[in-house]
Structure formats: structure tokens, C-alpha cells
Amino acid sequence: MNNPKNRTLTLERTFDAPLDLVWEAWTQPEHIAQWWGPKGMETKVLEHDFTVGGQWKYAMTMPDGSEFIADGVYVDIVPKERIVSSANFKPMTEGVEIQAIFKADGDKTHFTFNCVHETEEYCKQQEEMGFYNGWGSVFDRLSEFVSSK
């Protein structure tokens, strides 16, 4: 009944950059601050303990000065393969799991991003609130960031 597939929103991208670089962009705080968050937002990395059970916390400032916090706990880390974390993006989204999956493709990187919600209703609501546009914009920034390196 509660099939994870029906509670998951997925985005896929191929980045024009090698796996090592894309992995670094996801795991180094100084890089994360450069691309995390939709266009026009500034991100500060407040906490970044990149270990299973470790916490992360980012403050994002909108162009109008309002701030919101994203935080979570790393659940699974397989170097250069996947990062799984709980995540809250207050006030919009709480209690989701995000999965970043990386696969080398020559000198490019195939990337899959899953966001697993507690219920199908919540998943649908998040999709309607602009999940694909919001995260799409984030991954556009990531793509520009890794392409420029």
C-alpha cells in the first residue's frame, strides 16, 4: 500500500564533469556553499559532519533577506556512489529522505536524485509546490559549478 515508488520524486542529470569532481562538489563545505539552493539564494554551511550519523545544516538567504534552514542526518554514505540523508527544508518540507546517486560515465557523471516522502499525499503536495523547478534550479547551479572547474 505504501510503496516507496509512489512516495518518491526523482530528478536525473548527466553532468559534464568527472565523478571525482561531482562527488567533491557534494561533500566539501566550501563547494556546497557555491551551488546548494535555487538560483539567487546564498547558502552558508553551518554544520557539515560528513559521516554516517553526522549532521548537516545549511542556512539559505533569499534575495529579500528572509532565511530558511535546511538540515539532516547522513544515513548512508558509499564513497563516489551514493549519499542518503534525512532532510528538513523548513518551513516548506520536513521529514523526507534524500538520496544522491552517482555513476561515472566516461568523463561525465550520471546523477540521480530521489526525494522520498512519508506519504503519497505529502509527495504529491511537494510536487505541486514546485519540487522539480526548485531542485532543477539547484542542479542547474551544480552543473554550472562543476563545468567551470
pLDDT at 1 over 70: no
What is the pLDDT, as a whole number, of residue 124?
Answer: 96
- 20: nearest Cα among 121, 104, 130: 104
The mean pLDDT value of the chain amounts to 94
Distance from C-alpha of 45 to C-alpha of 6, rounded to nearest angstrom: 32
In a domain, 110, yes or no: yes
Residue 10: per-residue pLDDT:
97
CATH number at residue 140: 3.30.530.20
Residues 117 and 98 sit within 8 Å (Cβ to Cβ):
no
Answer yes or no: is 43 within a domain. Answer: no
The total number of structural domains that make up the chain: 1
Q: Which ranges in the chain belong to alpha helices (H)?
A: 19-27, 29-35, 120-128, 131-147
Confidence band of 29 (pLDDT split at 50, 70, 90) = very high
State residue 63's pLDDT score: 87
pLDDT at 78: 98
Domain assignment present for residue 68? The answer is: no
Report d(CA 2, CA 104) in Å as an integer.
32
Tell me whether residue 47 is in a domain. Answer: no
The letter for the amino acid at 132 is Y
Whole-model pTM?
0.94
End-to-end CA distance of the chain: 45
The gap from C-alpha 56 to its chain's centroid, in whole angstroms, comes to 12
Which residues constitute the domain of residue 130? Answer: 4-38+78-147
Q: Which pLDDT value is given to residue 92? A: 82
Cα 124-12-99 angle, rounded to 5 deg: 70
Report yes or no on 72 lying in a domain. Answer: no
100 inside domain: yes
Residue 57 within a domain: no
